[in-house]
Chains A and B, each alone.
Chain A
Amino acid sequence: MDLTELIFKTVFLIIIFAVTLVVAMYSTYGERKVAAFMQDRRGPNRAGPFGLLQPLADGLKMFMKEEIIPLTANRSLFIIGPSLAMTTALLTGVVIPWGGTLTIGGREFSLQVADLNIGILYVFAMVSIGVYGIMIGGWASNNKYALLGAIRAASQMISYELAMGMSIIALVLTTGSLSLHDIVSQQHGLHWNIFYQPLGFLIFLTCAFAETNRAPFDLPECETELIGGYHTEYSSMKLGFYLFAEYINMFISSAVIATLYFGGYNMPFIGSIGLSPNIVTLLGTAFFFIKIFGLIFLFMWIRWTLPRFRYDQLMNMGWKGLIPLAMFNIVATGIYYFFTELK
């Protein structure tokens, strides 16, 4: 890797970082607007035109609030908790292919920070580490509601990780590669994986909801039972980090779903219009973001439509519903490819 590429990668990394934060910030605005639309209200409309400055005002408020660390809490772990949640949420964006290749000054630059050979497993590893932020923070608060929230988070994530991994195995059987770049380039045209793996997509989507702690699976922070769940004792920007990490996770998991099942940056019929390659790449990236925003809207839509699960229902659905379905999906996919692609 020479200097030009290093500089490009560094700049690109910073851009991704900034875009992730901005999208997550405006997801909070989007969520409130969507909620308002569904409940026939107006939503935030005081700060700036259409309330567009509301996320900035919220962020400022979070920073200005008094920071409280309970006397009985474990100080160091209490601080590590939200930092971990934020870090692991931001780490996943590295392997996602945000676009094709850009040609600048006769050189090709890929719009992906790292094309790992095991990209999809890397995503999975980051998801599985992500639970530590919640668990450590919840335990360090030394509050029984926070502890209950943390324990719920741990058991929920472990249960849904299994089904998620199995739906990925079926996907890997179809694509034959673990690299996200290969998976996207195979879906060129309209060969999106959702048409080949509809069941796997549904399982993956359900598990993504559970892994991001979004309603109807937001039991770790269930207000009606646990006050605030794992972040009951948190205040100021530490609370902000937890809430913000949830929105980053939502953005990143939408990006992963779009990459795996909706063809990533592939746009149907784009090759036949006859535009220059750079414009095609940029349009593809824009199209990728449209897909991501559609999925984020789906996340919000479901949150404001479905009521929360009961805890035993959640566990039953994970272990008795999704895992057998995912196993069936693997076997069915395997049998199909065994008989159609005998070589």
Chain B
Amino acid sequence: MVFLFYFLSAIMIICALMVVFSKNPINNVIYLIVCFLAMAGHYILLNAQFLAVVHVIVYTGAIMVLFLFVIMLLNLNKAIILRKSTVTRVSAVITGGIFFLVLLAATRQTFEIHAKYPFASDFGLVSGIGKVLFNEFLLPFEISSILFISAMVGALMFGKKDV
């Protein structure tokens, strides 16, 4: 298990770095796909089968296909080198740094949260998630579904030429 963890983590980190450093858009997308697959492997190690498979279906199977689709359709074949002004670069570094701080703060808390919720064997399986979603978190769940519908309708409105 520990070996698998390090193996998947190594794949993820290398692929994530390649997403940033690779110049060819198609290669970027493919590295991101591999990164997502490794993340699904991490979910399985945590016994979250449902999350893992939904992650593969939604991110790897649908969203990344659309990414690849758009890049192929526009035929962005050549490597692109972006030239940005100094202000943009500095602000990007600051934003990234702040985001890193937030992540760090969240990671620090996991040690406290982890102790409160002991491991249960049905954790991460479909029935458990369903019961939690439709009892404890019913309202947020429904609200987020309304958000999705409004986003879909909005996308349709933008996509149509003559409304």
Q: Does the CB pair B62–A161 fall under 8 Å?
A: yes
Interface string of B23-48 (1 = CB under 8 A from A): 00010001001000000000000000
Q: State which size class the interface on B falls in.
A: 20 to 34
Asked if B56 CB lies within 8 Å of chain A CBs, one says yes
Residues of A within 8 A of B75 (CB): 147
Q: Does the CB pair A125–B62 fall under 8 Å?
A: no
| A/B interface sample: 18 pairs, CB < 8 A | A74-B26, A77-B26, A117-B125, A125-B56, A125-B61, A128-B57, A128-B61, A129-B60, A132-B68, A135-B68, A147-B75, A151-B69, A151-B72, A151-B73, A154-B68, A154-B69, A161-B61, A178-B126
Instruction: Please name the residue on chain A nearest to B124 by beta carbon.
Output: A117
Residues of A within 8 A of B66 (CB): 158
Asked if B65 CB lies within 8 Å of chain A CBs, one says yes
Number of residues in A with C-beta < 8 Å to the partner? 26
Q: Does the CB pair B53–A122 fall under 8 Å?
A: yes
Q: Which residues of B contact A (CB under 8 A)?
A: 26, 30, 33, 49-50, 53-54, 56-57, 60-62, 65-66, 68-69, 72-73, 75, 125-126
Asked if A118 CB lies within 8 Å of chain B CBs, one says yes
Q: Does the CB pair A129–B126 fall under 8 Å?
A: no
Known: A122-B53, A139-B26. 15 other contacts (CB 8 A): A77-B30, A116-B49, A124-B53, A125-B57, A127-B61, A129-B61, A132-B33, A135-B72, A136-B30, A139-B72, A147-B72, A151-B69, A157-B65, A158-B66, A158-B69
Provide the bound-state CA to CA distance between A136 and B49, in Å. 28
Partner of B49, one of A118, A129, A147: A118
Across chains A and B, the number of contacting residue pairs, with CB separation under 8 Å, is 68
Asked if A283 CB lies within 8 Å of chain B CBs, one says no
Q: Does the CB pair A128–B72 fall under 8 Å?
A: no
Residues of A within 8 A of B33 (CB): 132
Instruction: Please name the residue on chain A nearest to B33 by beta carbon.
Output: A132
Provide the bound-state CA to CA distance between A122 and B56, in Å. 9
Instruction: Please name the residue on chain A nearest to B27 by beta carbon.
Output: A77
Given contacts A128-B61, A132-B33, contact A121 B72 (CB under 8 A): no
